[in-house]
Structure 1
Amino acid sequence: MKPLYIYLLFFVSFHCFAQEIEIKNSPNYGKTVAVFGGSVSVIPASETAKNMWKESLGMEITNFGVGGAGFSSLQGKSLQQQVDEAGVFDIYILWASTNDYTNNREIGNYVDYTEFDGFDEGKLVTQAGGINYCIKKIYELNPNATIYFFTSSKAFNNRGGYDPFDQEGMVKYVELQKQICELHGIPYLDQFGLGGYNVYNQELYYRDPIHMNDAGYKKLGALQVSFLAFPQ
């Protein structure tokens, strides 16, 4: 039994060491990161996830998010305003909230505020226009910027907040978020589809119908670290 124990100990130690080296070989290791979003990106529990980025990827993180914010210019201190206040960072993360959906802001079209409509400022009231504004503004701030997008996560305030087949629900907002990312070649993390939250485990991971608790952010943080280490 002793040789087997030694072998297992060696295997586990080597595997953990290999994982550590793999993370440090990430192209994003040690980068400066700006985060924009609503309350889900800045509540105290969200630090659980961001601390995982720091510990696993050595990231230096600056938060610009504000509770109640959305991409629409009508939704709180919007992500448009947050990006306006940013400087130069290596990485910019647009962390979508649920606020545009829960406050019934117009979704818009994936070409809102792009070269296709002559950058029509009247479209900045839509979720789509706000996302496109943020992307354009970031590249003006830093032409070498790396931008990542975290989609809205599930919410449990009504069926539309979590049912991916409710075509009047938040899935419409999430699908448009992904369309815009694909238009601009921006990698995105589908937190709505991949987060692993549902009505059966909601009480374990959410403190209220919209906001996760520490356990929820730990679960989400593992997904985010995997994405940020080697984004596809």
Structure 2
Amino acid sequence: MKRKMNYLTVLLILLSTSIYSQNRVKPISFKESFNYGKSVAVFGGSVSVVPASDSAKVLWERCLGMKVSNFGVGGAGFSSLQGKSLQQQVNEAGVFDIYVLWASTNDYTNHREVGTYTDYTEFDHFDKEKLVTQAGGINYCIKKIYEINPKAIIYFFTSSKAFNDRGGYDPFYAGGVNKYVEMQKRVCELHGIPVLDQFFLGGYSIYNKSLYYHDAIHMNATGYKKLGQLQTLFLAFP
């Protein structure tokens, strides 16, 4: 809950500094962000690379002066069994300042195992058989990134809501996307990776999906712009 409230706190600070600027309180600038001007590599499935997603990433570029490189591939997931997985994408990446692991819903849609947070870690002696699980794939990506760049900054965007079935958006539905999201966050907690919970904080529901979604899974330009504002705030002040 503390992590979720941080974004609201930052937003209130931004507003309050503007309101009280007449009292010589200096407004917070995005240029003061530790991440301003950094190079960013983005890995994920189609939700991270469809043309409409540029509506989000252009905000990173405009507000934070970031240089964004896309490695995402449609159909990809963290499991080694799922398309050109994020494991493969990370393998092909070079050195960047920031690495964003943008989770899709492909592992869920294709019934890949969620796994446990210890999959492919020192706790199981990096058991390669666990790379077929979502958790094992996430752990692989984090480990590989640090091997590529020991100074890397890694951020994780959770899966967003999808409306192809009830499990895609109902957080209480057994075996739904939320189960995958909870494991995504658990693995990141193990490694101290900041997480943007897009499933919860995105603000999408069956009542407004027609405004923000192009289809059951992918947002339209307006939806990505809405999400991009949240992402930009997170990347500026994680």
Same fold (TM over 0.5): yes
Could you tell me which runs of 5 or more consecutive residues in structure 2 were left unpaired when the two chains were aligned: 1-17
Q: Which among 89, 94, 111 is matched to residue 101 of structure 2?
A: 94
Q: Which among 132, 138, 151 is matched to residue 144 of structure 1?
A: 151
Which letter does structure 1 place at the counterpart of 2:94? G
- Distance, in Å, in 2 between the alignment partners of 1:80 and 1:179 is 18
- Distance, in Å, in 1 between the alignment partners of 2:237 and 2:204 is 23
Which letter does structure 2 place at the counterpart of 1:181? C
Which letter does structure 2 place at the counterpart of 1:155? A
* Partner residue in 1 for 2:210: 203
Aligned pairs for 1:188-199 within 5 A: 188-199=195-206
* Partner residue in 1 for 2:168: 161
Which letter does structure 1 place at the counterpart of 2:237? F
Aligned pairs for 1:52-67 within 5 A: 52-67=59-74
* Partner residue in 1 for 2:50: 43
* Partner residue in 2 for 1:4: none
TM-score (norm 1): 0.92
Aligned pairs for 1:23-38 within 5 A: 23-38=30-45
The yes-or-no answer on 1:121 pairing with 2:131 is no
Which protein is bigger by CA-based radius of gyration?
1
Residues 12-41 of structure 1: per-residue CA shift (max 9 Å, x gap):
8x69xx65x521100000000000000000
Aligned pairs for 1:74-113 within 5 A: 74-113=81-120
Runs of 4+ in 1 over 3 A off after TM superposition: none
Could you tell me which runs of 5 or more consecutive residues in structure 1 were left unpaired when the two chains were aligned: 1-10
Which letter does structure 2 place at the counterpart of 1:185? G
- Distance, in Å, in 2 between the alignment partners of 1:167 and 1:114 is 27
- Distance, in Å, in 2 between the alignment partners of 1:200 and 1:83 is 36
How many residues are matched?
219
- Distance, in Å, in 2 between the alignment partners of 1:114 and 1:22 is 39
Residues 67-101 of structure 1: per-residue CA shift (max 9 Å, x gap):
00000000000000000000100000000000000
Q: Which among 187, 197, 217 is matched to residue 224 of structure 2?
A: 217
- Distance, in Å, in 1 between the alignment partners of 2:218 and 2:202 is 13
Which letter does structure 1 place at the counterpart of 2:44? G
CA RMSD of aligned residues (A): 1.6
Q: Offset at 1:52?
A: 0.4
TM-score (norm 2): 0.89
The yes-or-no answer on 1:228 pairing with 2:235 is yes
